[in-house]
Amino acid sequence: MARFHMALTVAVLAATLIGSTDLPLASQAAAPAPSFSVVEQDIASLQRALRDERITSRQIVEQYLARIDEDDQRGLAINAYLSVNRKALDDADRLDRERREGRLRGPLHGIPLAIKDNFLTIELPTTAGTLALADFSPGVDAYQIRQLRERGAIVLGKTNLHELASGITSVSSAGGQTRNPYDLERNPGGSSGGTAAAVAASLAPAGLGTDTCGSIRIPASHNNLWGLRPTHGLSSRDGVVPLSLSQDVAGPIARSSADLAELLNATVGFDEADPVTEASRGRVPRSYLEFMGDSSLVDVRIGVVTPLMGEASADEEVRRVVDRAIDELEGLGASVGDHDMLGLESVLRDTSAIAHEFSFNLQDFLARHKAPVRSLDEILRWGLYRTELDGVLRRWNETQERESEAYRTTRARRAAAKTFVLESMQGRSLTVLAYPTIRRKAARIGEQQEGSNCQMSATTGLPAISMPAGFTDDGMPVGLELLGTPFSEGTLLRIAYAYERQVHPRRAPRLIVGR
């Protein structure tokens, strides 16, 4: 597994990452329970097995650790994980004791999860995929990690990502290239590609990612998974390495829509450390699972965004798959119609805030947590990054002012774009907008990935879910994205669940079945 691009830092980081986290851990574990396999099991299935005493949390963790050793670090060499939690077995033992004593914390009790390596975690370094943060371990948990632990979840390990969450193919100086379990020669999407590849390959039942412009949704699309970008302000980003605070959100990636709901239940809501979550007050339901169960979508109106469906010949194979998935939604009673959204391309142009915010947001985060580097400029000067990212990182580092006329113009364009999208939906009484998550299937490793439709949700702050739409003729997953109105996650999950019950779109990678 080729992890690093400089010989000197190879040795340094290997000592740091592997020495401190004992990657892999399978050799420490007892033999997995033979009567129950974790492969393709969702959270509810794992909980039923735990309740019925067919397996323990320790045995679940042992199985995942063995699979990580076999298929991630060796064998298929998917390379989804940067580090594995050596305390995971101890955590599982503690939660098993609590279960025996009748103390259950909820539906996540004893469930191990894959965590993107830009969330701070107490027991593991947080590299954000860059060599510059190889030994960055401030000893605190991000808000969402704390919430998960309180509900009994276990941090199984930290997953690879596109370095500093800056792209969509999941390659980094700290972890190398993560590979797609459906075709090891292709990328898994990004930037949350490590989490998605781990979940798709049954190296974890579910996990967390972040999304600044597609970084949850694109990996979900490329790995036949469900991924939700929440409304900006629904979930705290405290303790997450930032890319652009105007666009950053953190959310779940899973093999089922119900698992998305469970992880949302555990992680959303007001956090005084992240002021944007003030908007979530009074907007969080008792449980997102309450929206799921009705298979009829007769009250749902879907607008198919024709400018995002793809007109190039290279877009055609994905478009065919997405069209069939939309037909399935129509078959469930939804009203479906084309929506040309004239002017959308112009409205979304120059609305990304990343170039204006990244260097300053990162600098503030590094200072607050006393990181070993102080700025993006230092990372660039020291050469502690993947060389393929040189161009984009240097462009983002050129921004000299926190506040500029160009930045004010971008903010104004973002506000106008949100108004445009909401008014276009209201004008046609639309429940959601629909389009391909990404118009091209996963590109081969080393090739440019094209076709992203990430910007509308990222610009407007509106929630969007990527659902498995099907497969291309050569077996690559395709995603259908639905975008809703503010805080309509329950509606998105309701549509997703009805579709899932009807279509059963989840299919494990051929390379994984039977292993």
Residue 68 has pLDDT above 90, yes or no: yes
Asked if pLDDT for residue 24 goes beyond 50, the answer is no
pLDDT score, position 513? 76
- Two tokens at 55? 């397996």
Q: Work out the percent of the chain whose per-residue pLDDT is above 90.
A: 91
Strand order in the sheet with 206-211: 81-84, 154-159, 112-116, 206-211, 249-254, 226-229, 464-471, 477-483, 432-436, 301-305, 335-339
pLDDT at 22 over 80: no
Run of H or E including 252:
strand 249-254
Q: Residue 234's closest CA among 271, 199, 206? A: 271
Q: What are phi and psi of 160, to 5 degrees?
A: -65, 160
In-domain check, residue 510: no
Backbone angles phi, psi at 113, to 5 degrees: -130, 150
pLDDT tens, position by position, 86-115: 999 999 999 999 999 999 999 999 999 999
What are the pLDDT digits (tens) for 388-398?
999 999 999 99
Q: How many CB atoms lie within 10 A of CB 502?
A: 14
pLDDT tens digits, 301-319: 999 999 999 999 999 999 9
| pTM (global) more than 0.75 | yes
Helix (H) or strand (E) holding 275: none
Q: For residue 129, name the pLDDT band (cuts at 50, 70, 90).
A: very high
Across 487-509, average pLDDT: 98
The catalytic residues are 116, 191, 215
- Kindly indicate the confidence band of residue 9, based on its pLDDT and cuts at 50, 70 and 90: very low
Residue 359 to residues 136, 166, 399, Cα–Cα distance (Å)? 18, 12, 8
What span, in angstroms and rounded, lies between the C-alpha atoms of 224 and 201?
11
Please check whether residue 65 lies inside any domain of the structure.
yes
Does residue 114 fall inside a structural domain? Answer: yes
Asked, for residue 190, whether it belongs to a domain, the answer is: yes
Q: At what angle do helices 143-150 and 257-267 cross, to 10 degrees?
A: 100
pLDDT at 514: 62
pLDDT of residue 101: 98
Which has more pLDDT, 26 or 487? 487
Please check whether residue 1 lies inside any domain of the structure. Answer: no
Q: Is residue 512 part of a domain?
A: no
Using the predicted structure, report yes or no on whether residue 44 has a pLDDT greater than 90: yes
State mean pLDDT over 79-88: 97
Structure confidence by residue, pLDDT tens digits, 273-298 = 999 999 999 999 999 999 998 779 99
Question: Residues 226-253: what's their mean pLDDT?
Answer: 98
Could you tell me the CATH number of the domain that includes residue 29? 3.90.1300.10
Provide mean pLDDT across the span 443-452: 98
Beta-bridge mates of residue 466:
227, 481
Which DSSP symbol is given to 513?
T
* pLDDT of 23: 56
Going by C-alpha positions, the residue among 400, 476, 491, 438 that lies closest to residue 200 is: 476
pLDDT of 174 > 70? The answer is yes
Measured CA to CA, the distance from residue 359 to residue 337 in angstroms comes to 42
How far is it, in rounded angstroms, from Cα 162 to Cα 175?
Answer: 9
Contact 357, 246 (CB under 8 A): yes
Please tell me the predicted confidence (pLDDT) of residue 515. Answer: 63
**Interval 320-342: pLDDT, tens:** 999 999 999 999 999 999 999 99
Extract the tokens encoding 467. Answer: 């659902």
Overall number of domains in the chain:
1
- Full residue range of the structural domain in which residue 488 is found: 7-503
Above 50 in pLDDT, residue 17?
no
Average pLDDT over residues 461-477: 98
d(CA 118, CA 161): 8
- 215 confidence band (pLDDT: 50, 70, 90): very high
Mean pLDDT (the chain, rounded): 93
Q: Is residue 42 part of a domain?
A: yes
Provide mean pLDDT across the span 428-433.
98
Given a cut of 80, whether residue 25 has pLDDT beyond it is no
**% of the chain surpassing 70 pLDDT:** 93
First to last CA, the chain: 20
Tokens of 186: 């292709």
Given a contact cutoff of 8 angstroms between Cβ atoms, the answer to whether 264 and 228 are in contact is yes
Helix H, strand E, coil C: the string for 53-80 is CCCCHHHHHHHHHHHHHHHHHCCCCCCC
Does residue 509 fall inside a structural domain? no
CA distance 193 to 121: 19
pLDDT of residue 485: 98
Range 396-420 average pLDDT: 97
Q: What's residue 295's pLDDT?
A: 76
Q: Is the pLDDT confidence value at 505 over 60?
A: yes
Of the listed ranges 17-26, 169-178, 418-427, the one predicted with least confidence: 17-26
